[in-house]
Amino acid sequence: MRCVYYLLLLATLLYADAPRLPRPDQVDKPENIKFIIPDKSKLAGIVVDDVEAKLVGDWKHSIHTPPFVGKSYIHDMKEKKGKKSATFIPNLP
């Protein structure tokens, strides 16, 4: 029983240092919208987004892990390493 107590204590301490990002099922809640930047023009500097990339291979669109820009981001699903690519051509000043 003491072992369980120490595991719970350890988990609590580790969680205290975890980033304060919303869980995936909370990303659409208004109070969490600050983690999603819908318009890249609102960000300072040069921003490239996946919707502008030339993609090779099959990619999955996801909203699982904020923060991200736009409506989603792409993920390679840890498949076909070296067979997929995303090429960005930014419009530099």
Residue-wise pLDDT tens digits, 11-57: 555 555 455 555 556 555 656 556 677 778 888 888 888 888 999 99
Ordered by start, the domain boundaries in the chain are: 22-87
User: What is the biggest distance separating any 2 CA atoms in the chain, rounded to whole angstroms?
Assistant: 63
CB-facing half-sphere around the CA of 77: CA atoms within 13 A: 9
Which tops the pLDDT comparison, 34 or 4? 34
- Predicted confidence at residue 45, as pLDDT, reads 85
pLDDT confidence of 87, banded at 50, 70, 90? very high
Which tops the pLDDT comparison, 10 or 75? 75
> Taking the model in full, what pTM does it have?
0.53
